[in-house]
Amino acid sequence: MRGATIPEARPTSELVRGAIFNILGPLEVAQTRVLDLYAGSGSLGIEALSRGATEADFVERHPRQCAAIKENLATTGFTDKARVYRMDVQASLSALEGPY
């Protein structure tokens, strides 16, 4: 996954992503809509899509990171299942409609 170099960014490692989805495993990600907040490169939402989520919304305030998410979605073939919002997470909580 490509991500923009931003000093305050802390990418989620593959090991952590695997652990998160192992914990969520019994909840079944397939056929759900996911919300990736502070999305960074979009790796968590893209992982959910690869595990069968029907759609994903990505919220990220940095324009370069939003561009990286869009590039990663195109590379993985999930562009049509995703929306990328360039906005503050706090604002997104009232602007976006679930359920997630």
Q: How much is the pLDDT for 21?
A: 66
List domains and CATH numbers for the chain: 30-91 (3.40.50.150)
In angstroms, the CA 87 to CA 25 distance is 29
Weakly modelled stretches of the chain, pLDDT under 70: 1-12, 17, 21, 23, 26-27
In angstroms, the CA 3 to CA 1 distance is 6
Residue carrying structure tokens 């305050």? 8
> How far from the centroid of its chain's Cα atoms is residue 13's Cα?
14
What angle, rounded to 10 degrees, do the helices at 43-50 and 14-24 form? 50
Model confidence, pTM:
0.78
Q: How much is the pLDDT for 11?
A: 64
